[in-house]
C-alpha cells in the first residue's frame, strides 16, 4: 500500500478564533464537506440600507413608525438583537434601523435595544459595546430576563400544543417591534432568524420549557432545516406575532462568517427569502455515512459545551445520521466558559452529570423537564447512537461530567475513535469544518 505524503494528511479545523492543525494516519480515508460558496456582501451597511428601502411584504420601517406616531405621538420602539452566541453583525444592522425609526418620528430616546439572551447568561457592558458598537451610546440597551415573571407579558396559549406564551413586557408595550437575526439551520426551529430572536430570546422561562420539552423533541416535524409542518416553527412564529413583531432585518452568513444575503421586511417574508438562500448554501450531498466525523465549531459557539455540543447533535439528527451507528463524532472546541454560565447551561450539565446513563437522561426528561435540559436530551440521544469526543478543550473535567470523552488534541481523539470502532484496516472519516452551518445529506443510491 502506497502512503500519501505527510503534507496530504494534514488538516485544519476552526478552534476559537484560530485553527487547530492535525495529522491523519494513513489508515483513514478522508473526505471534506463544506458549505457552498456565494459572493459576499461587499458593503454590509449599504446593503442593509438598500434592503430597508425595498422591504419584502411590508411598508418601510419608517412608515410603520409614522403610523405608530399618528396613533400615539409618544410612540416607542424596541429592537431585539441576538445574544453573544450568535455571530450576527448587529453593530452594522442596528444603526440603519434606528435611522429608519427616526425618519418615521420615533427619536432615539424612545427606542430601546433588547439583547435576547433567553436563559443564557446576561451580557456585560463591555460585551454590549462589542456586540453593538456605538449603538450603546445612542440608545438604552438592556438584556431580556427569562427568569423574572414580573417582567413578562402574557400572550395566552399558543397553538398547536398550547404553549403558555409570554414575552418581555417592554416588548409587548412597544408600538413598533423589530428584530435582527441570522438565518441558519436550527435543531428545532428548522432555521433560526428574527422571529426566534423575539419568541425565544425575549420570552419567559415557561415558553422555553414547553417548546424545548419532549413533546416537541419527539415530534417528527421538529427537525433541522425543516420549516413546513414544524410545530416548533409554528409556535414561535405565533409568539413573535402576538409579541408585536412587525419587521425584521436578517442576514445569511457563509462558513467564514461573511454576510452573503440581507433581507428586510415582514418576518414571514424575510424568513422565506433567506431560507431559500440558506438551503442552497448549507445543504451539501454526501454519498454515505461515515465511521468517524470531525466537527469544527469556532467562536462564538465553541465558548461553552452547551453551544458546541450542537455540532454532534446536528450531525446525528441530519435527515440521515452523518455518522453510522456505533461510530464516533469528534468536536474540536475551546470551551473557555466550560459548560456555560447561564441557567440553561447549568441545567444542561446537571442533567447529564446526575444521570447514570444517556437513557436515564431521556427518561428523567419525560418525568420532569426544565429549559436548558433539551441540550442534555439531544446529546443523550446522540450518545445512544455513537461515541462523542471533545478535543483540545480547556475544560476536560466538564466534558467528562457530561459523559463525553475528552482528548488533549484531535490526534488523540482520532486514536480513541479508531479504537472504539474496532481498528479496521480502513476507516472512513468526514471532516466538517463548520458543522453548525454545513448540513451533509446522505443521498439515496441510484437504482437502475
Has residue 1 been placed in a domain? no
The count of other CB atoms within 10 Å of the CB of residue 419 is 11
pLDDT class of 371 with cuts at 50, 70, 90 = confident
Give the closest residue to 200 by CA, choosing from 267, 120, 122.
120
Indicate the number of domains in the chain.
2
Confidence band of 248 (pLDDT split at 50, 70, 90): very high
CATH number of the domain that residue 371 is part of: 3.90.226.30
Compute the distance between CA of residue 164 and CA of residue 406 in angstroms, rounded to an integer: 39
Last residue of a domain, one of 262, 280, 298: 280
Asked whether residue 179 falls in the same domain as residue 307, the answer is no
Summarised one tens digit per residue, pLDDT across range 260-297 is: 999 999 999 999 999 999 999 999 999 999 999 999 99
Length of the chain in terms of residues written: 448
Exposed/middle/buried for residue 54 (C-beta within 10 Å: 0-12, 13-18, 19+) = exposed
Shared domain check, 72 and 138: yes
50 contacts 100 by C-beta, under 8 angstroms: no
**pLDDT score at 169:** 97
- The yes-or-no verdict on residue 6 having pLDDT over 70 is no
Here the cell at position 386 is: 455513537
73, 293 contact by CB (below 8 A)? no
The range of the structural domain enclosing residue 343 comes to: 6-32+287-442
Instruction: Give the cell for residue 299.
Output: 467562536
Do 124 and 256 lie in a common domain?
A: yes
CB distance 214 to 191 below 8 Å: no
Q: Are 176 and 65 in contact (CB under 8 A)?
A: yes
Instruction: Using the 3D structure, point to which of 228, 260, 280 is the last residue of a domain.
Output: 280
Specify if 37 maps to a domain: no
3-state helix, strand, coil in the chain (%, to 5): 40, 25, 35
Q: Is residue 39 part of a domain?
A: no
Given 256, 280, 304, the domain boundary residue is 280
Cα separation, 142 vs 37, in Å, equals: 36
In a domain, 448, yes or no: no
Residues 24-61 pLDDT 10s = 999 999 999 999 999 999 999 999 999 999 999 999 99
Are 153 and 242 found together in one domain?
yes
Distance between CA atoms of residues 262 and 278, nearest Å: 11
Which of 372 and 157 is assigned the larger pLDDT?
Answer: 157
Amino acid at each position: 500500500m502506497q502512503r500519501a505524503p505527510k503534507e496530504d494528511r494534514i488538516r485544519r479545523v476552526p478552534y476559537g478564533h484560530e485553527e487547530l492543525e492535525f495529522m491523519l494516519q494513513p489508515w483513514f480515508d478522508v473526505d471534506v464537506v463544506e458549505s457552498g460558496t456565494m459572493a459576499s456582501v461587499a458593503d454590509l451597511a449599504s446593503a442593509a440600507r438598500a434592503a430597508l428601502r425595498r422591504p419584502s411584504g411590508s411598508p418601510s420601517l419608517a412608515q410603520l413608525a409614522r403610523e405608530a406616531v399618528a396613533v400615539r405621538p409618544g410612540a416607542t420602539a424596541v429592537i431585539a438583537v441576538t445574544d453573544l452566541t450568535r455571530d450576527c453583525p448587529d453593530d452594522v444592522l442596528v444603526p440603519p434601523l434606528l435611522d429608519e425609526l427616526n425618519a418615521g418620528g420615533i427619536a432615539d430616546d424612545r427606542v430601546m435595544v433588547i439583547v435576547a439572551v433567553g436563559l443564557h447568561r446576561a451580557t456585560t457592558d463591555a460585551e454590549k459595546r462589542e456586540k453593538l458598537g456605538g449603538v450603546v451610546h445612542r440608545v438604552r440597551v438592556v438584556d431580556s430576563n427569562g427568569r423574572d415573571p414580573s417582567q413578562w407579558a402574557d400572550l395566552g396559549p399558543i397553538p398547536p400544543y398550547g404553549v403558555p406564551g409570554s414575552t418581555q413586557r417592554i416588548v409587548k408595550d412597544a408600538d413598533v417591534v423589530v428584530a435582527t437575526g441570522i438565518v441558519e439551520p436550527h435543531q428545532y426551529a428548522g432555521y433560526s432568524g428574527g422571529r426566534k430572536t423575539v419568541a425565544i430570546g425575549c420570552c419567559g422561562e415557561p415558553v422555553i420549557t414547553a417548546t424545548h420539552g419532549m413533546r416537541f423533541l419527539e415530534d417528527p416535524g421538529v427537525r433541522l432545516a425543516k420549516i413546513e409542518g414544524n410545530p416548533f416553527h409554528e409556535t414561535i412564529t405565533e409568539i413573535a406575532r402576538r409579541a408585536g413583531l412587525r419587521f425584521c432585518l436578517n442576514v445569511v452568513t457563509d462558513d467564514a462568517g461573511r454576510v452573503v444575503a440581507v433581507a428586510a421586511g415582514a418576518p414571514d417574508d424575510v424568513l422565506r427569502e433567506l431560507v431559500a438562500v440558506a438551503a442552497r448554501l448549507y445543504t451539501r450531498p454526501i454519498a454515505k455515512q461515515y465511521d468517524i466525523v470531525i466537527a469544527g465549531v469556532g467562536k462564538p459557539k465553541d465558548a461553552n459545551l452547551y453551544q458546541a455540543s450542537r455540532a454532534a447533535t446536528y450531525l446525528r439528527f441530519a435527515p440521515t445520521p452523518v455518522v453510522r451507528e456505533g461510530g464516533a463524532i469528534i468536536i474540536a472546541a475551546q470551551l473557555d466558559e466550560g459548560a456555560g454560565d447561564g441557567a440553561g447551561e447549568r441545567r444542561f450539565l446537571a442533567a447529564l452529570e446526575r444521570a447514570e446513563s444517556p437513557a436515564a437522561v431521556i427518561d428523567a426528561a419525560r418525568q420532569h423537564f426544565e429549559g436548558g435540559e433539551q441540550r442534555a436530551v439531544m446529546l443523550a440521544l446522540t450518545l445512544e447512537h455513537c461515541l462523542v469526543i471533545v478535543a483540545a478543550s480547556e475544560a476536560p473535567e466538564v466534558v467528562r461530567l457530561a459523559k463525553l470523552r475528552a482528548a488533549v488534541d484531535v490526534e488523540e481523539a482520532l486514536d480513541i475513535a479508531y479504537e472504539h470502532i474496532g481498528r479496521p484496516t480502513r476507516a472512513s472519516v468526514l471532516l466538517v469544518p463548520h458543522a453548525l452551518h454545513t448540513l451533509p445529506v446522505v443521498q439515496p443510491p441510484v437504482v437502475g
